[in-house]
Chains A and B, each alone.
Chain A
C-alpha cells in the first residue's frame, strides 16, 4: 500500500457526497478524491474538477461512475519568470492567488472570467473569456503548454507543436480529453496594479449594443450590465463599463490592499429573492449611477470581480438554485437577430435576475471554445417550472441564428439543440476523443447529457 507516510492520511476511496456546480442545479452524488497530489488522485478518475464554479453539470460525476479528482489542494506555483511573465503552476491554484502574486510584480492574468474563485485547470477546461475578449481572445490563446494525465493513465507534456489536436481539444474541452495537471501560460504586463474605469448609463438595448461596440475600439476592458426586467421603451437599458490599466501618474503609489471577503453563512430560503425585488434593484442601480459619466481609479478586484465581495453569493437563490444561460449570437450588433433574442425572452416572461452583455472578438483555437465574433448574453435565471421552456425557446433562436452556448454555464440545453449548434466542431472534438479515449473513461454529467456518452 503506497500511502502517504509523512503528512497526510491513509484512507480508502472517499464516501459519496453531494456535488453541485455554482448554480446548485442539478445536484449529483459521487465520490470526490481530494489531495495535494493531483497526479495520484487522477489515476483512474473519471474527471477532474476544480472549485465547481461551472454553473451546471460540467464538473459533476455520472451517477455510479468512477470517482472524480478535486484539484484545489494542488495549488503550487512552480515557476514565474518575472522578465517574460511566463508562469507554470499546478492545475488547482486559484486565479485569486495568481493575481495577488503577480500584480505587485507588474503582471496580470491575460484573461480573467468574472470571478477569481476559479482554478487554473478550470480556466483551461472552459477556455474562459473576459472583459477583454475583443482584444485578448480566450485564456487558451495564452496557454503555452499542459501537463496532462490521459485517459489511458499516461502522463504527458503537450503543446501546440507536439500534439496540436489534443492540445486544441483540451482548451475548452471541459476536462473530457484528459486531466490537466499543470498549466504554463503567459501573463500580461501591466502599467500599474490599478484600473482606470469609466462608466455611463445607456438608455435602451439598441443604444447599449452600439455603445458597447464603440467602446471596444478604445478600451481593453468593456462590459455591459443590462436591465431585462423593465418594459419598453427602456428594455435593455443599463450601465456600460470601460476600463484600462491606470498609468503611473493616475494610480496610487501602493499595491491595492487585498481584502478577505465575508461568506454568506447559509443559503437563503428559495422565496427570499423575488423578481419584483430585482426589478426595483435594477432601477436603483441605474438611477444611483446618474446620467453623468463616472470615471476614476478602481481596485482591480472590484473591477473584475464585483460579485466576489461575498463568498457563496449563489446561496441567495436558495435551494432551488439557478442557471446562467450564456450564448453568443453572430454580429453585427445591428442585425435583427439580437432584437429577436430579446423578444423571445420577453414573450416567455423570463425572470432575468442579471444580464451581462459582452461583444466578442475572433474565435480561439480550442475545438469547442465558446466565443466568436458577435454579442454574448449571460442571463441568470432562477430554477422554476418554466426555466426549461425558456432555455429551449432561446436555444431555438440560437440554432436558427447560427449562435452557440457556453458549456461552462449550461445546465438545461438538450442534446439535439447542442448538436444543431455545433455540427462540424462537435464532430472534430469527438474525433479527438475517439483517438485518445475511445472507451470514454473520462466523462461528466454534461458529457452524458450533451455528447452522447453512456452513463
Chain B
C-alpha cells in the first residue's frame, strides 16, 4: 500500500507508521520539521518500509502548504492508496482559557485546517479511482462535551461530524473514511496529564488502526473499551455533567 502520513513522526502516528513499515508498505511522511522527519524516515526504513521513505514539508498551521505537499507525496509514492492524518494540537482547557492566541491556533489546527487538508486529500485519493482510504484521528473528546476538554473536544466533534459525512457521501464511490477516536493514550501529547483508567499504549492503538485501515472500518475506538465508556458518558444527564470533573 502507498501511504502518505501527516504527523507520523510522533505519538500514535509514529506507531501506525511502524506497523505499516514492518509489513513493507511504501511510505511518505508529511510534516513541519524536516530534520525530525528524516530521523523518522530512517527508523521506518530500518523496520522494513519499501523503497525510500519520502519526506515532504507540510504545516498544519499553513493551509497553503497542503496542495504542494500532497502533490509531492503522490510523486514520491508513485501513486496514493491511503492518507493517514494524526497531526493535531492539544492543550489543556485551562491553558486554552488563559491564552487567546493558543486557542485560535488549536481550533484552526484541529478543525478548520484538518478539514481543509482532508478535502484536498480526498480529491487526490479519488482522482485515480479504486478503493482508497482516508484515515483521520479525531478523539473521544468529540463524542460529548466534558469540562476538561471543551475547546479541544469541540474541534474534534466538528472533525468527527465531517468525517462521518464523508463516509455517507463517498462510500459508494470507493472511498473508505476511517474515523479514529482514541481514548486516553500514553504519548508525548498526554504526558504530564493524570492517567485515567483504560489508558492505552500507542502500539496497541496502532494495531487496531491498521486493521481498520485494511478493512475500511468507518469508526474505530482505541482502545476498544472507550466505545462503551463513551456510550455511558453520552447517557449521563445534564445535572451529572455539570457536577463531575471528568
Are A5 and B60 in contact, CB atoms less than 8 angstroms apart?
yes
Is B160 on the interface with A (CB-CB < 8 A)?
no
Are B60 and A33 in contact, CB atoms less than 8 angstroms apart?
no
Q: Mark A1-20, 1 if CB is under 8 A from B, else 0.
A: 00011111111101100000
Are B89 and A79 in contact, CB atoms less than 8 angstroms apart?
no
Interface residues of B in 71-123 (CB under 8 A from A): 86-92, 95, 102, 105-106, 109
Name which residue of chain B comes closest to A80, CB basis: B46
A33–B192 CA distance with the chains assembled, in angstroms? 7
Are B89 and A5 in contact, CB atoms less than 8 angstroms apart?
yes
A10–B192 CA distance with the chains assembled, in angstroms? 11
Are B13 and A77 in contact, CB atoms less than 8 angstroms apart?
no
A7–B12 CA distance with the chains assembled, in angstroms? 10
Is B229 on the interface with A (CB-CB < 8 A)?
no
Chain A residues closer than 8 Å to B92, beta-carbon distance: 11
Are A10 and B39 in contact, CB atoms less than 8 angstroms apart?
no
Most central of B46, B92, B105 by chain A CB within 10 Å: B46
Chain B residues closer than 8 Å to A6, beta-carbon distance: 7, 31-33, 59-61, 87, 89
Interface size on B, residues (CB 8 A): 37
Interface residues of B in 21-71 (CB under 8 A from A): 31-33, 36, 39-40, 42-43, 46-47, 59-61
Are A14 and B89 in contact, CB atoms less than 8 angstroms apart?
no
Name which residue of chain B comes closest to A73, CB basis: B188
A11–B191 CA distance with the chains assembled, in angstroms? 9
Are A7 and B61 in contact, CB atoms less than 8 angstroms apart?
no
Interface size on A, residues (CB 8 A): 25
Q: Mark A85-127, 1 if CB is under 8 A from B, else 0.
A: 0000010000000000100000000000000000000000000
Are B89 and A8 in contact, CB atoms less than 8 angstroms apart?
yes
Is A78 on the interface with B (CB-CB < 8 A)?
yes
Are B39 and A78 in contact, CB atoms less than 8 angstroms apart?
yes
Most central of A15, A70, A73, A90 by chain B CB within 10 Å: A73
Given contacts A11-B192, A77-B46, 12 further A-B contacts (CB under 8 A): A6-B59, A9-B91, A11-B92, A11-B191, A12-B95, A34-B192, A36-B11, A36-B14, A73-B191, A76-B42, A77-B47, A78-B42
A-B interface, 5 closest residue pairs, ranked by CB to CB distance from nearest: A14-B192, A34-B191, A76-B43, A7-B7, A9-B90
**Which B residues are closer than 8 A to A by beta carbons?**
7, 9-11, 13-14, 31-33, 36, 39-40, 42-43, 46-47, 59-61, 86-92, 95, 102, 105-106, 109, 187-192
